[in-house]
Structure 1
């Protein structure tokens, strides 16, 4: 470093470490050309030459510097904080009150998500674990029904057909960190997703037993989790959904996860699973389902809560959500699980066998494509069929590398309606729902 007029000048490597946006602007310059000393400086900062630098879009901030901020649970630079919990893998700690933790993508390299690798999303406190027989836990079904029901877990299991399904569950704010400007809420990367195997009874069977009135149009869900304020008369969250989704054959009142009783942190002994829609509809520690004759107005409903603009709004602007619509089926998204972001591979590596997962809410995934030359060309991956409806789909494929150096794996999915992940997070909204841009993972060879 050199001193000029009493100021200490930083090298481009140090700038990329401390202020990557400014370093990127200096490296590309006014003409947007990345060559000569700027290219060499960027390569030095990244730790290797950039074989496809000629394809790098103008002003692109390298994923090695851009991605950590989009996947960490605390503000500022550096490595994310890690949750340490017995039986859990090292998850990215997004918040402690309420407890929220994200799964790094490379830990989702399993067809069925294990307890260890399942993300955590709470809206209030964690209730005391049931000390007695879990089969005595009670759930009430009331409201716009002919016969209100109060059923124990034991009665649910004995009275209704028990089914087992692999089901995706995704936080409505998954991908929130990719919005610019930043929005409110936990700054999720892509890891607020799971595909566990859930066992339970279909919600529709229980609702049919209660006898739905013609006036029934919506549900309202309640659980035992206490409000963070400690107020006994305030639910931590009470969301609901259109009756059509409640009657979907894959919407379950679940009591087992991966063949075992549901772990307490994930909603034991009974929870809702509403696959393909925001995970906030999958009420933990379920105690009541209120059938409504109107859209539910509980905590987490209305305004900008789990709602997205019908028409685009100016990013960063304020809105009361009056023209917003309920977020329902989640957008198409993909993850890379075979290689962690920032992986270093031995010199001479000339091909990569890639794998990951993709999903699209109520829809299926038509295609997954991968690029290693900054999007100039794309290689189509093989996409497996889902294990059942509303399960994610695994994908695999191989790409070749011309030499050692710095690469970015760009990956994108396309849903069954032809919608592809966009290059940048679209439809900005104040609470950051629905961000599903193409993802980039940095890889260094040699």
Structure 2
């Protein structure tokens, strides 16, 4: 006899569930628990962009469905959008756009984009850019902020100069410990205060993959994505990758701009009770992002032809400052796992593409579960852990529901 709950689920799905016996107690099929459409979102309508899922219009924030991230190098059209303020006017002459480096330096600099490209070595690197709130939708109870699933991630080919080279040209003082970043994006209130101003430890600023970027995938950066000059700080929260960059303030202490302190881009040093109000007094900065993976070959909710017995799977995985050492997939609700093949990153801080194949015994409803393990042995958990009020660093394994027949 079919259990009542299972019968109800199969009726709702319009399909049998071949591996229902392995469905963990209390777990609802992903296609019923997490519909294809993101509640409250609508498709982005923006020149040159794909139909991303808009979470907010003021400021504009839009997520890329995993199936649109099937490129080894993310196109500008498919890149997620995360703003904290308004979008500034486009400059008449992008090459004349200037920014300053000041504070704890021997010789403050004011440089145009043209001067940057002429004076310093220009490099191109594939780099992760990920919102600190990626995965927020999986925290329970719900946390504040945009309900990102797994698609606030990109891996573009960014061209620019190393921030390290510019800081060395300015001459860092011994007191240099932190940076503070400023951009031209206006505050939504119309006030003169920055929409966001975050900073990082000087060691990350001096990392060889931290760039002052002015091109994306061989073209000028689209204005929506921070042209004519932006920071790219890979592997750490994307809020550090200041768009429309105007200033880098080198400081002798942690930066205290909008978006720093309290619970902003900070996580509990020790677990707290989910749902608990907290001022973040003993939180720590979210720096290297946690291990995560996506499935890009098959969209969540896809229906495949009857008789499909083999799935060729592919996706991407990444782990902040670390690398991925294992990628696994399950077709039977985690009862068994298969290792997938995965590539080494194109360069440090690029994501890693993975591929593999699974067999299906019959038509019906399946969930492809996918999880990555980082180079220090941490694996994506079944459920989001370390709940925090703003929902950072949730990295549960992926669950994609598919219908066969």
2:158 to 198, 201, 206: 198
Q: Does 1:358 align with 2:317?
A: yes
Separation of aligned partners in 1, 2:22 and 2:255? 50
Separation of aligned partners in 2, 1:37 and 1:247? 59
**For structure 1, which runs of at least 5 residues remain unmatched after alignment?**
1-33, 75-79
Q: Does 1:47 align with 2:14?
A: yes
Separation of aligned partners in 2, 1:139 and 1:384? 37
Separation of aligned partners in 1, 2:117 and 2:89? 23
How far has the Cα of 1:73 moved from its partner?
Answer: 5.5
1:213 to 163, 168, 173: 173
2:367 to 408, 413, 429: 408
Kindly report which structure 2 residues correspond to 1:423-442, keeping only aligned pairs within 5 A, or say none. Answer: 423-442=382-401
What per-residue deviation string (whole Å, max 9, x for no partner) do you get for residues 212-263 of structure 1? 000000000000000000112x000000000000000000000000000110
Give the alignment's TM-score, normalised by structure 1. Answer: 0.90
Kindly report which structure 2 residues correspond to 1:58-73, keeping only aligned pairs within 5 A, or say none. Answer: 58-68=25-35, 72=38
Separation of aligned partners in 2, 1:278 and 1:309? 16
Secondary structure of 2:34's counterpart equals helix
What per-residue deviation string (whole Å, max 9, x for no partner) do you get for residues 393-425 of structure 1? 000000000000000000000000000001110
For 1:11, the equivalent position in structure 2 comes to none
For 1:30, the equivalent position in structure 2 comes to none
Kindly report which structure 2 residues correspond to 1:38-437, keeping only aligned pairs within 5 A, or say none. Answer: 38-68=5-35, 72=38, 74=40, 80-131=41-92, 133-232=93-192, 234-437=193-396
How far has the Cα of 1:39 moved from its partner?
Answer: 2.6
* CA RMSD after TM alignment: 1.0
Separation of aligned partners in 2, 1:195 and 1:59? 35
Give the alignment's TM-score, normalised by structure 2. Answer: 0.99
- In structure 2, do the counterparts of structure 1 residues 290 and 38 end up closer, same or farther at CA, with 3 Å as the change threshold? closer
What per-residue deviation string (whole Å, max 9, x for no partner) do you get for residues 372-396 of structure 1? 1000000110011111100000000
How far has the Cα of 1:346 moved from its partner?
Answer: 0.7
Separation of aligned partners in 2, 1:365 and 1:47? 37
Name which one, 1 or 2, has greater alpha-carbon Rg.
1
Secondary structure of 2:77's counterpart equals coil
Separation of aligned partners in 2, 1:145 and 1:219? 11
- Do 1:73 and 1:93's aligned partners in 2 also have CA atoms closer than 8 Å? no
Separation of aligned partners in 2, 1:117 and 1:136? 28
For 1:26, the equivalent position in structure 2 comes to none
How far has the Cα of 1:264 moved from its partner?
Answer: 0.2
How far has the Cα of 1:40 moved from its partner?
Answer: 2.8
Separation of aligned partners in 1, 2:187 and 2:373? 39
Kindly report which structure 2 residues correspond to 1:27-46, keeping only aligned pairs within 5 A, or say none. Answer: 35-46=2-13
Separation of aligned partners in 2, 1:363 and 1:370? 21
Secondary structure of 1:294's counterpart equals coil
Separation of aligned partners in 1, 2:187 and 2:30? 38
- Do 1:406 and 1:442's aligned partners in 2 also have CA atoms closer than 8 Å? yes
Separation of aligned partners in 2, 1:316 and 1:387? 40
- Do 1:73 and 1:95's aligned partners in 2 also have CA atoms closer than 8 Å? no
How far has the Cα of 1:84 moved from its partner?
Answer: 1.0
How far has the Cα of 1:345 moved from its partner?
Answer: 0.7
Secondary structure of 1:116's counterpart equals helix
**Greater relative CO (CA pairs within 8 A, separation 6+):** 2
